[in-house]
Amino acid sequence: MTPLATIRDLRFRHRGGPFAMSIERFELARGETVACVGPSGCGKTTLLEMLVGIRRPDAGSIEIDGVPLHALGDAPLRAWRRRRVGLVFQDLRLLESLSALENILLPYHLDRTLGDLDSATARACELARSMAIEAMLARKPRRLSHGERQRVAVCRALVADPVLIAADEPTGSLDPDTARIAVDLLIDAARQGHRTLFMVTHDHSLLERFDRVIELRSLMSVTRGAET
């Protein structure tokens, strides 16, 4: 399979803390679905954030879909992330002043080059229907349960047709049935669009759905001390 993402000779150390990681080489194939597991503190979220350019490595290279992230300035990196990456954060990062629908469509409001807003709205409603939150699209996040908010975040990650979907514990507050729906939606979006899914999870009941599972400590040398 053709690599979508390649990490080479990566080095990273948290400032003021004992955590450090070293990865000689790691690849994600185009269209592959990968679950990243490991105990709290081993660096899973740190790796995800470097893959999408939220954190920068101290050394080494990260290339996604032919783009050398390590060589981009901050503004081009943010623009690339909006256009090419679908993110589901652990803390969700929904805007309380916007409705659920407006939060799903946020990438289109931030970057008008993504495409037609009417078509995006139709896709947002379709995604919301698949996640059983269509009736809640007019509500602000404060009127949603945490599980409903999480589903909004999953829809937002998929709405702009990303090449890479990066999800940090996207099912942490969902009941088992909804968690399976959310993961199936992410995996289906990856496979149907030949996208890559990289998901950090502690839920081992979901792992059989993925093409590959990586245990992070087997990939790199780590000194404990990070968050996740």
Report if residue 228 sits inside a domain: no
The DSSP secondary structure of 23-92, one letter per residue, reads EEEEEEETT-EEEEE--TTSSHHHHHHHHTTSS--SEEEEEETTEEGGG--HHHHHHHHHHHEEEE-TT-
Residue linked to tokens 């009736």:
135
| More confident site: 221 or 73 | 73
Report if residue 166 sits inside a domain: yes
Predicted confidence band of residue 224 (pLDDT cuts 50, 70, 90): very low
Q: What is the pLDDT of residue 227?
A: 47
The closest of 169, 228, 179, 175 to 199, measured between CA atoms, is: 169
Report if residue 141 sits inside a domain: yes
Mean of the per-residue pLDDT values for the chain?
A: 89
Report if residue 98 sits inside a domain: yes
User: Phi first, then psi: what are they for 10, rounded to 5°?
Assistant: -75, 135
Average pLDDT over residues 20-27: 91
Average pLDDT over residues 161-180: 87
% of the chain beyond a pLDDT of 70: 95
Average pLDDT over residues 188-195: 84
Calculate the CA 102 to chain-centre distance. Answer: 19
Query: Is the predicted pLDDT of residue 192 greater than 90, yes or no?
Result: no
Predicted confidence band of residue 150 (pLDDT cuts 50, 70, 90): confident
Report if residue 89 sits inside a domain: yes
Report if residue 168 sits inside a domain: yes
Element (H, E) at 111: none
Q: Which domain holds residue 177?
A: 3-223
How far is Cα 56 from Cα 14, in angstroms, rounded to an integer? Answer: 11
Dihedral angle at the C-alpha atoms of 117, 190, 168, 78, nearest 10 degrees?
A: -50
User: What's the predicted TM-score (pTM) here?
Assistant: 0.87
Q: Tell me whether strands 20-29 and 3-13 are parallel, antiparallel or unpaired.
A: antiparallel
Number of domains the chain contains: 1
127 and 165 Cβ atoms separated by less than 8 Å: no
Average pLDDT over residues 30-57: 92
| More confident site: 172 or 51 | 51
100 and 138 Cβ atoms separated by less than 8 Å: yes
Average pLDDT over residues 131-153: 93
Report if residue 50 sits inside a domain: yes
Query: Is the predicted pLDDT of residue 44 greater than 60, yes or no?
Result: yes
Query: Is the predicted pLDDT of residue 226 greater than 80, yes or no?
Result: no
Give the type of residue at 66: G
Q: Where residue 198 sits, what CATH number does that domain have?
A: 3.40.50.300
Report if residue 130 sits inside a domain: yes
